[in-house]
Amino acid sequence: MNIKEVTSTEFQNHAGEHLEASGKRPVFITRYSRPVRVLIDIEEYERLKAFDTRQALYPHELSDEQKALFDEGYEGEATPELEHLVDE
């Protein structure tokens, strides 16, 4: 992927130019030589956002089945391949 990288000062001084460039490729904005923000086209943002299916619920919004899983202490599906990462 072809990206453009600019300092935060450069971005402030030439925001319009970088807004235009972000329509063609991501613009990484850096501070002290480290990326702190990325400017992307709105269509690319919407495409990426569509992959995020997470949902935050209040306890009263949970189904009885979901509440029962919490009561049982359900921690998700087993992942034996990751067991070596757990401190015992």
**Domain boundaries in the chain?**
1-74
pLDDT at 1: 66
Is the pLDDT confidence value at 87 over 70? Answer: no
Do you know the residue count of the chain? 88
The predicted model scores a pTM of 0.59
Q: What confidence tens digit (pLDDT) does each residue in 15-63 have?
A: 999 999 999 999 999 999 999 999 999 999 999 999 988 888 998 999 9
Task: Say whether 27 sits in a helix, a strand or coil.
Answer: strand
CATH 3.40.30.10 for domain 1-74, yes or no, is no
Average pLDDT over residues 69-79: 82
pLDDT at 36: 96
- Compute φ and ψ for 34, nearest 5 degrees: -120, 135
pLDDT at 82: 81
